[in-house]
Structure 1
Amino acid sequence: MNISSIVVQTVPKYLDEVVESLKSCEVCDYHMHDEKGRIIITIEGDGVKEELEKLRVIEAIPHVITADMQMAYSEDELDEHIEIINNADAVPKMLNDDNVDVDKIIYRGDLKKKDLEGFAADFDKVD
């Protein structure tokens, strides 16, 4: 599933007409507009092809000057990024070690130095 936000531009003279057309249009969800003729909508689709078909419908609405995608979200991309994050060594191994007494750790730096052995680098052990 893809979701994209779109900024639709019209002239203020036709703003109400275009907003009503978008609200009654079944290819998008209306969210907001301003007095300058900028309208924010979102579209959803099973893929880019479906989203582009919906974008063409929006562009064909009378008095729409432009309809530009501003942001897109794809579940496939999110799943890919989550997999990368889950497989990354983002947390020093010692912080996930159940044998380490966390009450005896003092943090003195940043976690970017991930290759920590014992309590070296940015951590000190409190006795």
Structure 2
Amino acid sequence: MNISSIVVKTLPKYLEQVVEDLKNCKVCDYHMHDEEGRIIITIEGSNVNEELEKLRVIEAIKYVASADMQMAYSEDELDANIDVLNNADAVPSMLNEENVDPSKIIYNGDLKKKDLYGFSKHLENKK
């Protein structure tokens, strides 16, 4: 399941009509709007293609100037990332090696994503 938030823009003089058309189009859920013509909606789909089809319906509504995805949630993508996190070592393997010189380790905020050993070798070669 994918869920995306969309900001729809229209001219203020067409705001009420566009809001009503969005509420009646059956491809999105209306949430709110402001007096400047910005409307917040969400769409859901079983995949990205289904969401894009719904986005095209919204873009085709009369007086819609633009409809841009702002935030997206993909259940499959989340599950895949959770699997990666759950299967990752809590401590990078090079930190458990006895012959590693701690002064050569550079911390950049996330040790799991860094190739610390390769980077340390690179530093040694620069001397």
Counterpart in the other structure of 2:58: 58
CA distance in 2, matches of 1:113, 1:77: 22
Give 3-state SS (helix, strand or coil) of 2:43's partner. strand
Give 3-state SS (helix, strand or coil) of 2:8's partner. strand
1:59-112 CA deviation, whole Å, 9 max, x = no partner? 111100000111111111000111112112347xxxxxxxxxxxxxxxxxxxx7
The one-letter code of the counterpart of 1:66 is S
Counterpart in the other structure of 1:45: 45
1:1-127 mapped onto 2 (5 Å cutoff)? 1-90=1-90
Higher helix share: 2
Give 3-state SS (helix, strand or coil) of 1:64's partner. coil
The structure 1 segments of at least 4 consecutive aligned residues displaced by more than 4 Å after TM superposition are none
Identity percentage over the alignment?
A: 77
The one-letter code of the counterpart of 2:20 is E
Normalising by structure 2, report the TM-score. 0.69
CA distance in 2, matches of 1:4, 1:55: 10
CA distance in 1, matches of 2:13, 2:5: 24
Higher strand share: 1
Over 3 Å counting, the alpha-carbon distance change for 1:45 and 1:113 in structure 2 is: closer
Normalising by structure 1, report the TM-score. 0.69
- Greater shift, 68-77 or 80-89, is seen at 80-89
Give 3-state SS (helix, strand or coil) of 1:73's partner. strand
CA distance in 2, matches of 1:2, 1:113: 30
Give 3-state SS (helix, strand or coil) of 2:36's partner. coil
Segments of structure 1 that go 5 or more residues without pairing to the other structure are 92-111, 115-127
